[in-house]
A and B are shown apart, each in its own frame.
Chain A
Amino acid sequence: MSRITRSLSELFGNDPQRPVPTDYTPEAKELHAFQRTDVETKKRVDGIKVELAEKHAHPPLEKLRLKRWAVLIFVNLLFVLSFYLDIQLLEGALTASRFVGFHMADLNSALQVMLAFKHVVLNLLIGTVTVFIAWWLLGGRTFCSWVCPYHLLAEWTEILHLKLAEKNIVSDHPFDRRARTWFWVIFAVLALVTGYTVYETISPTGILSRALIYGPGLALLWVALLLLFEVFYSRRAWCRYACPIGLTYGIVGTTSPLIVQYELSSCFHEGECRKVCLVPHVLDTVIKGKARDTEVEIGADCTRCGRCVDSCPTSSLMFKFKGLGNLL
């Protein structure tokens, strides 16, 4: 299976495939063998001890996360201020907008409209193509973690969920990740068959974006319900198992040049990255012995949030723009 097929398969909800011996490059094989030697194992175990002590003494500040939150708030604020100050910089909402006059359309919203309406006017096409290219360049699901307002709220309530889980007050009930693919298909079919943009009715992204720009309303209750569900029942459930917008952008980002790249040689396999990741299946490769190559591109479901980059004690995960070298 090629990297792209594997990436899509994981995106659609299948469990990561265990590498077979022929999957490994000779370099990776050699490196895995080297890491298994007693000397290296001891070095790694000692290294992890030092790291954990260090982490305990100085809990690291997640710099990238704070920057990302700032970007997310800034983008959403741009919509709000553009309207309130009437500066016509970024008009509309996240579903569709105009950036200094240029049409932009959320790919999933545009898809729902196209399927329900069965006509595509030129402006919508322009907006859709523009956004497609932009998010392809930027990594697809980058939209989720860097722009979507629901993501930010869900991150905050996730902190609460984790605190409660630590005290054994709540526990995480995972769902089958294939559900999201089914939702995507069902909502597409519903739009086509009913002639209504059914998904928009429950889209927390659209609801929140409009609430920020045009004022709060009843629909926020639905968003609150989703957040409560995530706090008390299932960690990050919406983004992980339900949101068709995330899947749409995931597909767009499958071949994106902006990726997180894994470097096997420096990795201690401590698993800090998988603990913070929204979509830990994309980090399956960091488990000891699983990397197929010495450098591995993280798959399409990755939201490029950078929490793994922040949390990796050995800087084995880095942002990369293919063709431009390491970014961060």
Chain B
Amino acid sequence: MKKTGTKKKPMTLKVRRKFIRTLVMGAGLIGTSLLGFIPVLGRWKERVRPPGALKEQPFLASCIKCGQCVQVCPVNAIKLAELDEGFGIGSPYIDTRAQSCDFSCDGLQCVLACPTGALTHELNYPHETDMGIAKVVRQESCLAVQGKGFKGQARGPGYDGLLRYDEIDRWNPILVRDHPYDVELCDLCVRQCPIEIRANQCDTGKPPSGDENQCPPKRAIRLVQIDSTDGVRRMRPEILDGCVGCGVCDMICPVEPSVFEVDVTESRGWAA
């Protein structure tokens, strides 16, 4: 005979415990994941993103955190962000002082590698990128401002950064420490600027790869004479409109800390 009034079985203690346990675990997990908001909203780290990167929010939304851009970079400029960057975890950035993008791949390999369009495919040439803009932040420590030259390895013997020196090897970047300099007035920032290098090649009628489209329409950096009273020839670096924020000036600057910083806040990035 059926019992009468057998509606729903009352929640046993075991079931109730499991239910509460699940709620706590769920809240904990969702809460933990949302902690990722803090570094992003707090802008803990202003990162230089690879060429073609969208503006920060759509960039983080669209990046699938796979690191294909890291793998194709010939100078290993791209690193992936850590857990302390919250939602930015696994997203690519460039520490320009350690190793900047010198566009030695010419074809913007990272852009081509990106599967999601976080690095927009709408650009084809280095001068079209917008990673930020270099700023002269420590002019007083600039060797040229002090009227000094530079001789030796730009960043010392222990530095393992890479740059492409066209005159040495058109196709392979080499160690900066294997390419010592000897200049009367330090102009390494101007000399190594990828935009300036391209503009100079174009001026001499030899655009990169013989392609006129590779010619930057605007200059990026120059040295400007400073009026000096002591008879010493002094110059100061000036960033121009053609700067794309690659940060090679920051990387090659021989003084420590560098005279430059790449500012990524000023309308950096492509609209999605």
Contact = CB atoms under 8 A, between A and B. Distances in A.
A182 B26 contact: yes
Interface in A218-236: 218-219, 221-222
B240 interface: no
A158 interface: no
A300 B19 CA distance: 24
Interface of B: 18-19, 21-22, 25-26, 29-30, 32-37, 40, 57-58, 60-68, 70-72, 80, 82-84, 86-87, 89-90, 113, 115-117, 121, 272
Nearest to B114: A123
A109 B63 CA distance: 10
Interface hub of B33, B40, B63, B117 (most chain A Cβ within 10 A): B33
A92 B36 contact: no
Given A198-B36, A201-B33, A109 B87 contact: no
A198 B115 contact: no
Given A92-B66, A117-B272, A197-B60, A176 B22 contact: yes
A116 B32 CA distance: 19
A155 interface: no
Interface of A: 83, 91-93, 95-98, 103, 105-106, 109-110, 113, 116-119, 121, 123-124, 127, 173-176, 178-179, 182-183, 186-187, 190, 194-202, 206-207, 210, 213-214, 217-219, 221-222, 237, 241-242
A119 B118 CA distance: 10
A214 B64 contact: no
B61 A222 contact: no
A173 B65 contact: no
28 contacts: A91-B113, A93-B66, A97-B66, A103-B115, A105-B64, A113-B64, A117-B61, A118-B61, A119-B62, A121-B117, A123-B116, A124-B117, A178-B22, A190-B30, A196-B61, A196-B87, A197-B60, A197-B65, A198-B33, A201-B35, A201-B36, A206-B90, A210-B90, A217-B82, A218-B83, A219-B83, A222-B83, A237-B25
Contacts of A116: 61-62
Contact of A218 (B40, B82, B87): B82
Contact of A121 (B71, B72, B116): B116
A219 B60 contact: no
B68 A98 contact: yes
A92 B33 contact: no
Contacts of A197: 60-61, 63-65, 87
Contact of A221 (B60, B67, B83): B83
Contacts of A186: 30
A124 B116 CA distance: 5
Given A98-B113, A183-B29, A217-B82, 7 more contacts: A97-B68, A110-B64, A175-B21, A194-B87, A207-B89, A210-B67, A214-B67
Contacts of A113: 61-64, 116
Main SS at interface, chain A: helix
A109 B64 contact: yes
A232 B87 CA distance: 29
Contacts of B40: 196
B66 A196 contact: no
A201 B117 contact: no
A302 to B, nearest CB: 23
B115 A124 contact: yes
B116 to A, nearest CB: 5
Contact of A202 (B19, B29, B68): B29
Nearest to B58: A117
A117 B22 contact: no
Interface hub of A93, A103, A197 (most chain B Cβ within 10 A): A197
A272 B30 CA distance: 35
Contacts of B117: 117, 119, 121, 123-124
Contacts of B72: 91
Nearest to B79: A214
A116 B65 CA distance: 13
A124 to B, nearest CB: 5
Q: Top 4 closest A-B pairs, CB basis?
A: A96-B66, A121-B117, A201-B36, A116-B61
Contacts of A109: 64-66
B82 A195 contact: no
A241 B272 CA distance: 36
Contacts of A219: 82-83, 89
A199 B65 contact: no
Nearest to B86: A201
A219 B36 CA distance: 12
